[in-house]
Structure 1
Amino acid sequence: MPVKRRAEIYVSRCTGCGRCVAACPKRLLTLEVAGYHKHALLTGWEKCDGCLACLPACPVRAIS
């Protein structure tokens, strides 16, 4: 059985621009506010099929 890939978000790099949220076809990404910092969060990661549509949408390469 092949290993299922999914997006990983580096919170320290994320600027909270929301481009990855708009790019996700399954709407599994949301923006979370933590204090004064906003960052992307993968919700329902078990539903992520690894399409990685969010990857090229991120201008600061906070997703791998």
Structure 2
Amino acid sequence: MNIIRAKEITQDPDMKDVEYLGKSVYILSVDEESKKALVRYREGSDETVEVDVRQLNENE
């Protein structure tokens, strides 16, 4: 995923289907400078993880 799309998703009121390494996540925030996103897994954990935006995939 590119940084622009990741930022759009964080601002969109509709939930988007985004995955990180095959697991569904919410994008909480995006840092343009570092190209990192703070994500939270949708199921099974309240853990937040900072990941490279390019490792995120949006399912249509």
Greater Cα radius of gyration, structure 1 or 2: 1
Q: Between the two structures, name the one with larger relative contact order (CA 8 Å, sep ≥ 6).
A: 1
- Confirm or deny a common fold (TM above 0.5): no
- TM-score normalised over the length of structure 1: 0.30
